[in-house]
Amino acid sequence: MVPTTTERDLRLDLFRGLALWLIFLDHIPSNAVSWVTIRNYGFSDATEIFVFISGYTVAFVYGRAMFHNGFLIAAARVLKRSWQIYVAHIFLFAIYLAEISYIAHSFENPLYSEEMGVLNFLNNPDVTIIQAMLLKFKPVNMDVLPLYIVLLIGFVPFLWLLMRSPTTGLLASGGIYTLSWLFDWNLPAWPQGVWVFNPFAWQFLFIFGAWCALGGAGRLSRAINSPITLALAIIYLLFALFIAMTWHVPGLGAFVPTVVGELIYPIDKTNLDVLRILHFLSLAVLTVRLVPRNWQALKSPWFRPAILCGQHSLGIFCLGVFLSFAGHFVFTEVSNRVPVQVLVSLAGIAIMAGVAWLISWYKVIERQGGGPASGAAARAQGAKPSLAGGDR
């Protein structure tokens, strides 16, 4: 089994880029602009989008590598990628702690250290660094990369299985998801608790994305295009919207029957509640219907910033973590008025887009290299999106 298309689907880059922007907005505490993010209007949020697209992209890239070069080469490339993300996580951890510690010390405000979960580092730096390297200690807003690292490592055997029997691979993933709920499987965190994103549960969405990339999307096309499926998706999204509104307008809770509340709560993000999966799938159905693969607007300059961010997701995610704390600092020390929040949010997104454009520009310069021949090769490559996209 090999991905049926040789060209990158720009919708993947667009929505992963948008997910990175939404994550940035959600990571800034008390940010009025975060009201535009999907977490306020349903059960799922940008994390589901990011994990699903990451699984799709990984299968697209390394499935083709396995088809052409064999399992060992593909597995080695997956593990190399997981190592690159691990190094990026450790680098982000060091710079992030330095940023928080400097601000907390300079402005004599120890609440920064407490709010961002780095108090243990200041009290026990030696132990904390070791626990961070083991991915057990994670400051606030730094849970996504460790999840991605573990999902990539666990993807190696799934790649072999999905390439031979995609349905069996998906069923195996569903089995692990079910067992994680039945037996409370999760990884331990330090100094206490468990991972915020349970990899035994979240792997299901990641593997489902990979399954879709390896032909599953084609097998589902008939169901996705069914009017019944569309109607069910819309009904579920409206139901989730109403329930979400009860969180913001308590008076609406009186219209929710007690039995419904008992059935749906708690809607667990750590263990990827089924209601969150269904909400994401409903959004996906609606998106596929409204945004076709050959949608001309995908080549519009208006969408180019988000697409570039999606193509360089690792660096842009790390940048977003820095910027979110910088935004929190501005709201705390300068002003938290709504116009300032809007300005900071837009400035953060603009910086992310600008850095993504700069990374792309450097890659073009590197490909052009030493002369006309390499420049022609770069132009030829530019006409065909890279398979690896943002996961190089």
Helix, strand, or coil here: 188? strand
Tell me the β-bridge partners of 273: none
Q: What is the pLDDT, as a whole number, of residue 140? A: 86
φ, ψ of residue 188 to 5 degrees: the values are: -75, 145
> Which two tokens mark 19?
């997910």
Let me know: does 188 contact 263? Beta carbons within 8 Å: no
Q: What is the pLDDT, as a whole number, of residue 107? A: 80
Computed from CA positions of residues 320, 322, 324, 326, in that sequence, does the dihedral angle turn out positive or negative?
negative
Determine how many CB atoms are found less than 10 A away from the CB of residue 114.
Answer: 12
> CB within 8 A of 45, min separation 6: which ones?
22, 26, 37, 38, 39, 269
Instruction: Determine the Cα angle at 189 with ends 185 and 190, to 5°.
Output: 155
Quote the CA–CA distance of 104 and 124 in Å, as a whole number: 17
**141-169: burial string, b at 16+ Cβ within 10 Å, e else:** bbbbbbbbbbbbbbbbebbebbbeebeeb
Q: What is the pLDDT, as a whole number, of residue 378? A: 45
Q: What is the pLDDT, as a whole number, of residue 100? A: 85
Which residue, 268, 213, 59, 217, is CA-closest to 151? 59
pLDDT per residue as tens digits for the range 33-59: 999 999 999 999 999 999 999 999 999
φ, ψ of residue 107 to 5 degrees: the values are: -105, 10
Ramachandran area for residue 172 (φ above 0: left; ψ -120 to 50: alpha; else beta): alpha
pLDDT per residue as tens digits for the range 293-311: 888 889 899 999 999 999 9
Quote the CA–CA distance of 324 and 344 in Å, as a whole number: 9
Q: What is the pLDDT, as a whole number, of residue 243? A: 96
Query: Which regions in the chain score pLDDT beneath 50?
Result: 371, 373-392
Q: What is the pLDDT, as a whole number, of residue 155? A: 96
Determine how many CB atoms are found less than 10 A away from the CB of residue 183.
Answer: 9
Let me know: does 325 contact 96? Beta carbons within 8 Å: yes
Let me know: does 237 contact 286? Beta carbons within 8 Å: yes
In the chain, domain spans? 47-213
Q: What is the pLDDT, as a whole number, of residue 366? A: 84
Q: What is the pTM of this model?
A: 0.90
